[in-house]
Amino acid sequence: MTSFTTHDFETAPEDAQPLLNAATSAYGFIPNLLGTMAEAPALLEGYMTLAGIFDKTDLSEAERQIILMTNNRLNACHYCMAAHTSISQGAGVPQDIIEALRTDTPINDPKLEALRTFAAVINKTRGWPETSDIEAFLEAGYTRQNILEVVLGTALKVMSNYTNHIAATELDAAFEPNAWTTDLVDMG
């Protein structure tokens, strides 16, 4: 496997340094994902920018994490499942929702379960949902705007999940208590 550097302020390309400063301000450290992305400053900027844009959607924090963690699980991204478990906990997402996302079990709230199901459909079909999938999502109380916001969250996860797969990003100590493996869920 090709080795990738997890950059810090001293090794990062110059164009990545302001972005790593912003990450340090936000997290108190440079997450290994962002240190790895720093190898390609445009990817790092794109990911951080898109994450900020995703936060501006009409979706709640819990709803955004449902989209992100569903994609993390389906893409078998160990790093992002642990990181987003920690982020969800810090944001006050209910523990039963987090556990459902980590184990691929239904969420008790029917509307949130419709979101989890639709996010999985978008990932699994590569953006080719059936009309019935769209109708079920809309009937659950979501909008056409929300359909496209699921696409936005899915795109964000492609950037991070694929980077972690290629670079075998090491899990940060901050996220280790929430380590996740595909052994926790049927990936079929």
pLDDT at 183 over 50: yes
pLDDT higher than 80, residue 184: no
**Per-residue pLDDT at 186 exceeds 90:** no
Res. 148: pLDDT tops 90: yes
Say which amino acid occupies 152.
Answer: L
Mean pLDDT of 98-109: 97
- Comparing CA positions, the residue from 116, 127, 124 lying closest to residue 152 is 127
Dihedral angle sign, alpha carbons of residues 105, 115, 64, 50: positive
- Going by pLDDT thresholds of 50, 70 and 90, the confidence category of residue 188 is very low
Q: What is the mean pLDDT of residues 11-38?
A: 96
Give the E-state strand segments of 34-138 in sequence order.
Answer: none
Give the pLDDT confidence score for residue 111 in this predicted structure: 98
Q: Which tens digits make up the pLDDT trace of 52-66?
A: 999 999 999 999 999
**% of the chain residues with pLDDT over 90:** 95
pLDDT at 114: 98
* Measured distance CA(136)–CA(78) in Å, rounded: 30
Q: Which domains does the chain have, with CATH numbers?
A: 8-56 (1.20.5), 60-184 (1.20.1290.10)
The pLDDT of residue 110:
98
| Predicted structure pTM score | 0.94
Q: Which amino acid is at 18?
A: P
Q: What is the pLDDT of residue 187?
A: 47
- Per-residue pLDDT at 1: 62
Question: What's the pLDDT at 2?
Answer: 77
Per the model's pLDDT, the better-predicted residue between 127 and 188 turns out to be: 127
